[in-house]
Structure 1
Amino acid sequence: MADQSIISAVLLGVIEGITEFLPISSTGHLIIAEQWLGKRSDTFNIVIQAGAILAVTIIYWRRLMDLALGWREPKNRLYAGKLIVAFLITAVLGLIVKKMGFELPDNATPIAWALVIGGIWMIFAEWAAAKRPPYTSITWYVAILVGIAQVVAGVFPGLSRSGTTIFIAMLAGTGSRAAATEFAFLVGIPTMYAASGYELLKTVKDGGMAGEDWTSLGIAFVVSTIVAFISVKWLLAYIQTNRFTAFAIYRIIFGGLLLGMVALGYMPQSNDEAPAAAATELRPVITK
């Protein structure tokens, strides 16, 4: 059983690491994975997500240091200000949504539809962005919309936080895929740290840390960090010369597969049966 638990932790860490920042939705993938690998605690889901966030922080540490230490430069102050505005919008709206008592979907069907609709949206966004000059600047308008987009992605698990924010930025005027992706990822760092920290403190307060398998937890964290680092580095190189169309097609196919599994009765139909991992992609928005 111990070996099986470790293998499951490794596999879930790999899935989280690959899907958290690629625009394909970690939620849908973790839901399917946990049908065979078993449910995991909220603490486990928080920890593997933290590993993915750490990986992105490492990748962008030079950029973050430039913004922090070079604040005297108007260009850096302006960019940092836009990151802060986007983060604050997400935090405020996220808290409002949480106070309203928003709950996760009762079954996998909404997530599957979000995957399909998100895929179609990505294709449209790429087409629309291609008609614009490849501007690399991030306007205040883009920053505001990205902040709102993070909340929308949390309210509709399956849309993908990274995908939604990247394409909102592109449609709002940032024609460069690289510039839109960088801003989306940089906004996601404080947002997801804050959300994960909040949830972890809440879990500790509620006594949810009792009985945790710390070995599996540690392994999953390390695996998630390493795999996310590789995935994001690959993505950043890929988008230099390629569109996101392949991800959009994958989402549509995967969403259709998920709908088929629901129709055939292979997926849970209620929250009582749904795996805890369904909250993974939602948590960064609703709790911040």
Structure 2
Amino acid sequence: MNDLLAALLLGIIEGITEFLPISSTGHLLIAERWLGHRSDLFNVAIQAGAILAVVLIYWKRLWGMLVAFAGHDAPSPYDPLGITATPAQSRDYAFKLLAAFAVTAAGGLLVKQLGWELPDTVRPIAWALIIGAFWMVIAEQLAARRAAREGERTAISWTTALLVGVAQVVAGVFPGTSRSAATIFVALLAGTTSRAAATEFAFVVGIPTMFAATGYELLSLARHGGIGEEDWASLGVAFVASAVTAFVSVKWLLRYIQSHRFTAFAIYRLLFGIALLLLLPANA
């Protein structure tokens, strides 16, 4: 297959799966069996392309946080649904995002120092998909019961923010877990019973996380002289494809969760995980 076409397909797969709770890393590892293995920089960079889509979708909220830090007193747009926030609320949200990112950064650096390598065989990915499917259903049921008792909660607590940071590290260590699924459902279990609020925090915290990961890989390549070895044309094609498809995917998901639960994604994960166990050899 033409290398640019393969890169395009990988970018599309990343854009669709990065924010749907079905594991982009797991899908990419499987897709690379047929489309060719890619560098760590390629995989992280196309994730950054998907994150760029979130920046475009949430630019009003991000701008509101910057304005709040600058001391502006006017309420600012809060999210894509048009809710507004006071400067104090925007600053509080920003500090919690930074706290979650700090936990992820510290945990990620520790994992790197320990020399942890991502599992890249089928069996652990398949089991992560299957276990995650049951985890999603249970977490959403518990959140729904709590919401019925106490009312819907949209606030992100400090505990939730820190646990989301830990969830990002866990998702990075175990492909198939899904960063979006881990963070959304940790937020739901930690007390943010609103699907929309939990999803939004999970998406926005990915902005500094994935951009930092891309920068880290670039610096690592530069130190070891690997920049010139990267196929920048393929990476560019995949980056753009990932950004465009992620934009469409996130817009769709934000509308979908207003009136639907995540059950359909759990079913997909379960079926996909079982199919991987049955159809591919364990050491593939």
Q: Specify if TM > 0.5.
A: yes
Name the SS of the counterpart of 1:21 in structure 2: coil
- CA–CA distance in 2 between the matches of 1:30 and 1:54? 19
Cα separation, 1, equivalents of 2:63 and 2:7: 33
Which amino acid in the other structure matches residue 136 of structure 2? M
- Are the aligned partners of 1:43 and 1:208 in contact in 2 as well (CA < 8 Å)? no
How far is 1:98 from its partner? 2.0
Normalization by structure 1: what TM-score? 0.87
The answer to whether structure 1 residue 255 and structure 2 residue 273 are counterparts is: yes
* Distance (whole Å) between structure 2 residues aligned to residue 232 and residue 110 of structure 1: 27
Deviation per CA, 1:8-50, whole angstroms, max 9, x where unpaired? 1111110011011111001221122112111222332232122
Counterpart in the other structure of 2:18? 20
| 1:33 maps to which of 31, 34, 57 | 31
CA distance in 2, matches of 1:93, 1:10: 31
C-alpha contact (below 8 Å) 1:116/1:252 kept by paired residues: yes
* CA deviation map 1:257-286 (0-9, x unaligned): 1112333x6x62xxxxxxxxxxxxxxxxxx
1:231 aligns with 2:245: no
Alpha-carbon separation, structure 1, partners of 2:153 and 2:117 = 38
Q: What are the Cα deviations for residues 213-241 of structure 1, in whole angstroms up to 9, with x where unaligned? A: 33222211111110011111111111111
Is the contact made by 2:218 and 2:227 (CA closer than 8 Å) also made in structure 1? no
1:179 and 2:197 are equivalent in the alignment? yes
CA distance in 1, matches of 2:95, 2:192: 17
| Distance change in 2, residues 1:89/1:112 (3 Å) | same
Are 2:95 and 1:84 aligned? no
Instruction: State the number of aligned residues.
Output: 264
CA contact (8 A) 1:24 1:115 kept: yes
1:157 corresponds to which of 165, 169, 175: 175
C-alpha contact 1:46 1:200 (8 A) present in aligned 2? no
* Aligned residue runs from structure 1 range 36-47, under 5 A: 36-47=34-45
2:227 aligned counterpart, secondary structure = coil
1:125 CA displacement:
0.8
Report if the CA contact (8 A) 2:99-2:162 is conserved. yes
Rounded to whole Å, the distance in 2 between the matches of 1:205 and 1:151 is 24
Task: Identify which of structures 1 and 2 has the higher relative contact order when contacts are C-alpha pairs closer than 8 Å and 6+ apart.
Answer: 1
CA distance 1:46–1:153, change in 2 (3 Å):
closer
Q: Which runs of 5+ in 1 are unaligned?
A: 269-288
Code of the aligned partner of 2:104: T
1:255-274 aligned within 5 A: 255-263=273-281, 268=284
Name which of 262, 269, 275 aligns with 1:244. Answer: 262
CA apart distance, 1:106? 5.4
Quote how far apart the aligned CAs of 1:122 are.
0.2
Aligned position for 2:84 = none
* Corresponding residue number in structure 1 for 2:46: 48
Q: In percent, how many aligned pairs have the same letter?
A: 63
User: Which among 8, 31, 35 is matched to residue 10 of structure 1?
Assistant: 8
Does 1:127 pair with 2:141? Answer: yes
Q: What does residue 111 of structure 1 align with?
A: 125
TM-score of the two chains, using structure 2 as the length reference:
0.89
1:152 Cα offset (Å): 1.2
Q: CA RMSD in A?
A: 1.5
| Structure 2 residues not aligned, in runs of 5+ | 72-86
Say if 1:140 and 1:250 are closer, same or farther in 2 by CA, change over 3 A: same
